[in-house]
Amino acid sequence: MPFENLKLKVTDILKKENQPVTDKLKMICQLLKDNIDHYDWVGFYFRNGDKEELILRTYVGAKTDHEVIPFGKGICGQVAISNENFVVPDVQAQDNYIACSINVKSEIVVPLFKDGENIGQIDIDSDTPDPFTEKDERFLEFVNQEVAKIL
């Protein structure tokens, strides 16, 4: 499904009444994984209060042991500090990387800002080498901006 159509579906999910936020986030993870071939694991991490660590709030894909990630550690932990998108075409080429599954070839992490503050991130793993383009970045920035509105 093209990104433009997915954007509409994302906003539809976020508009749903009487649904807990975490359920909506999970529905977005499922939507993205089901409709974008190169998205094999999709999850949202958020900062744990005042602690310098990320907590996995919800995800769709293979079970992961990495539900808590300290700031600075792995791709996710680096984005918590840098406030910038991190596109990894080849995870094997990264020194500071936390492996979740041997099938994963590439990853993209896009920070989520609320009132200008980096409070979390969307994390996508792919079993395809080097699949992410600027279109993915723009799309995931859109998703995070929309999600921020309900947080």
Instruction: Give contact residues for ligand SME (rule: CB under 6 A).
Output: 41, 43, 64, 66, 69, 74-77, 97-98, 100, 107, 123, 125
- DSSP string for 90-112: -GGG-SS---S-TT--EEEEEEE
User: Whole-number minimum distance, CB 144 to ligand SME, in Å?
Assistant: 17
Do the Cβ atoms of 108 and 38 come closer than 8 Å? no
Q: Using CB atoms, what's the residue nearest to ligand SME?
A: 74
Nearer to ligand SME, 53 or 146 (CB): 53
Nearer to ligand SME, 17 or 95 (CB): 95
User: Whole-number minimum distance, CB 51 to ligand SME, in Å?
Assistant: 17
User: Whole-number minimum distance, CB 37 to ligand SME, in Å?
Assistant: 18
User: Whole-number minimum distance, CB 55 to ligand SME, in Å?
Assistant: 12
| β strands within 8-105, DSSP E | 41-47, 53-60, 68-70, 86-88
Identify which of 34, 1, 28, 32 has the alpha carbon closest to the alpha carbon of residue 13.
28
Nearer to ligand SME, 36 or 100 (CB): 100
User: Whole-number minimum distance, CB 10 to ligand SME, in Å?
Assistant: 21
Amino acid code (one letter) for 107:
E
Amino acid code (one letter) for 95:
D
Residue 82: C-alpha distances to residues 61, 62, 77, 113, 118 (Å): 26, 27, 9, 12, 9
Nearer to ligand SME, 7 or 73 (CB): 73
Residues 6+ apart with CB under 8 A from 99: 91
Nearer to ligand SME, 7 or 55 (CB): 55
